[in-house]
Amino acid sequence: MKNSFVILVIGAFLFLFMASPVVAQSEVKALVEKECSRCHGIARVNKASKDAAAWEKTVNRMIKKGAAIKPEEKDDVIKYLSTLKK
């Protein structure tokens, strides 16, 4: 009985650990879609073919223009955008 409980707890932690990046990426995608579509269509973002350095410049410029991306979200946004259309 005790072994079953330990296995269940370990399984639950592993599930949460493995599922968290998926949740985080969907949250970042939603943030990108919300903030980028304020001024232009999301298709423009999805069509862009940029590396991380180019996306960083773009994101910084968009933040200066009013995109509500918090400093702690910026790296995740850049990583997500870098995965689009290569």
59 belongs to a structural domain: yes
Q: Tens digits of per-residue pLDDT, 36-45? A: 998 998 999 9
Residue 71 lies in a domain: yes
Question: For the domain that residue 46 is a member of, what is the CATH number?
Answer: 1.10.760.10
Is the residue at 42 inside a domain?
yes
Measured CA to CA in angstroms, residue 58 lies from 3, 21, 49, 50, 75 at distances of: 52, 24, 12, 10, 12
In a domain, 73, yes or no: yes
Residue 63 belongs to domain spanning: 22-82
- What is the pLDDT at residue 13? 60
- Using the predicted structure, report yes or no on whether residue 15 has a pLDDT greater than 90: no
Let me know if residue 3 belongs to a domain. no
Closest C-alpha to 80, from 41, 57, 46: 46
Q: What is the pLDDT of residue 22?
A: 47
> Is residue 1 a part of any domain in this protein?
no
Q: How many domains does one find in the chain?
A: 1
Q: How far apart are CA 80 and CA 74, in angstroms?
A: 10
Q: Dihedral sign for Cα 63, 69, 73, 77, please.
A: negative
Res. 17: pLDDT tops 90: no
More confidently predicted of 22 and 45: 45
13 in a structural domain: no
